[in-house]
Structures are given as C-alpha cells and as structure tokens.
Amino acid sequence: MDRILCVKDLKKAYKEFLLDGVSFQLNPGSIMGMIGPNGSGKTTTIKIIMNLLKADNGTVEVFGLTYGNNEKEIKNRIGYVGEEQYFYQNKTVAWTEKFVSQFYRQWDKSRFHELLLQFNISAAKKIKELSKGMKVKLALAIALSHNPELLILDEPTSGLDPIIRREILDLLQKTSHEENKSVLFSSHITDDILRISDFVTFIVNGKIKLIDEKDELLSKWKRIHFKVDSLPDSIKNSLKNRQDQMFGSSGITDQFLKIRQQMASGIDSGTVKVENVNLDDILISFVTENERL
C-alpha cells in the first residue's frame, strides 16, 4: 500500500469559518505533524478523517477504503486520541478496558497492561482520580492496544507538563519506527512537532499553507539580515515577515537554497547574515501573511 491516508479537497463551512480545500497524504511508517494556530482547522480536519463530522465536499481514503460500508473495518485499524478524553468518571481503569475492548477484534490485554505499568496507572483507580496527563496516557494506551496501523491524535500534549509530553512523544516515535505504524497528530506546540515528525503540514485559517519533509523544510527556510543596498530588490521583495529598522532589515525566505549563490559575496563580506529559523518562525510568517490578505 502506497498511502495509509489520502485526504483530498476537504471543505466544511461554518458561519465564521471555512475549511477550504484541505488535501494531503500520509505514507506507511511516517509521522506527520499538523501545525497551526488555535482555530485553524486542525480538529475539524481530524474529525472529518475519523468520520465524526461530514465534509461538505472532498474525500477521505484510509487504507485505500472509504467510509460507508467500511467504517467498522477502518476504525478497527485506527488508534484515535481526541483533544478531550471522554470516560465514565466513576468507573475504574479495569472496567474501562473491559468495556472498550469489546469493540476491537484484535484487543491485546497484555499490551494494555504493559502500557499501564509503563505509565504508572493503577487498573484499580477510578477515572475521576486520574490527572489530565494520566487520562491522556490512558487514552493512548487504549489506542495502542488493538494493534492499529494508523494513530491519529488531536492535540494530545496540550496543557500537559513537559515531562509527560516528552514521555508521550517518545512513545509515539518509538511505536512508529519500531512497529512501522503511521502517525498523524495535530498540535500548536511547535517543539512537539519538531521533535518527532518526519513531515510537517502547516494549516492556517482553514487552508494548507505548506507540506514538506521536516529536515528539508528547515534547510530551505532561513532568516536573512541585510542592509538596504546589500540585496537585489527581487530578493528583498520576496521575503516574508520583513522587518525594516534603522540599522538594517530582516525577513524570512523559503527559497534560500535557490538564492544562496546570489548572496555569496554578501555572506562572505558579512553584509548579509543568515540565521536558522524554527517552526514557530515559519508559522508566524504564514499567520501574518494571512492577516494582511
């Protein structure tokens, strides 16, 4: 199978928001991080992928199948963790496992209890006794315990402390690389995306702005610092998030590999300086660009 997930031209209109032609694909064994500001369309996209929302237009194929008569088959092969964890608060973790396991044909009880031990979660505890981080870990343990081929997670680390975030991200990365599972997860925390993603999708105001392999993306995007007369107008005018100050200007480019030769003399002389950027810088450039439109 060439593609685990194929999303094409998804559209969903609300009164004050439009998901506008979202398209991307996810290959086997890879991790895609979907990044965007709050309210950018990440959750809407994921809910449509999970068939929890109906799109106004577009298609979703999972494992080469479409929803309809294949929903049970598809969801047996997906591990899903939503932004909010909905459990019966007065029931125990053990009861929750017994309840959930009946919906999956490949439930692995030993795998579930291994994850409980790893996460330091007691099966005897009631859900209401668990912290927010523990509930996310429980949801992840459930998602992983029926041997899914695809993991889909919506803001799984939002609001968690750095230690728990790191633990969850490390498990996702290990699961993907060692078990050849594909992962799609959304976040507005760029450090989380940077840490484990193979591919990055930027979504702003309901539109996909960029999809690229993470390392390739970071090699192409740079911040350039320059004095007024040190760059051709064609390069200066192409810079994103440009800032002009008394002693010089700066801006971000996604064409650094192409224009590096044009700037070689300036770089060598120190009149043009090049600085690495992070995913936040790139996201902000898209957000500010969108606000100007």
Fold of 5-214: Rossmann fold (3.40.50)
Question: 185: which strand partners?
Answer: 33, 153
Residue by residue, pLDDT tens for the chain (293 residues) are: 578 999 999 999 998 899 999 999 999 989 999 999 888 999 999 999 999 999 999 999 999 999 988 999 999 999 999 888 889 999 999 999 999 999 999 999 999 999 999 999 999 999 999 998 899 999 999 999 999 999 999 988 888 888 888 988 998 988 888 788 899 999 888 889 999 999 999 999 999 999 999 999 998 899 888 776 767 777 777 788 888 777 778 889 888 877 777 666 666 566 778 889 999 999 888 888 765 54
- CATH 3.40.50.300 maps onto the chain at 5-214
pTM (global) more than 0.85: yes
Q: Which amino acid is at 95?
A: W
DSSP string, 49-96: HTTSS--SEEEEEETTB-SSTTHHHHHHTEEEE-SS----TTSBHHHH
Q: Are strands 199-204 and 31-35 parallel, antiparallel or unpaired?
A: parallel
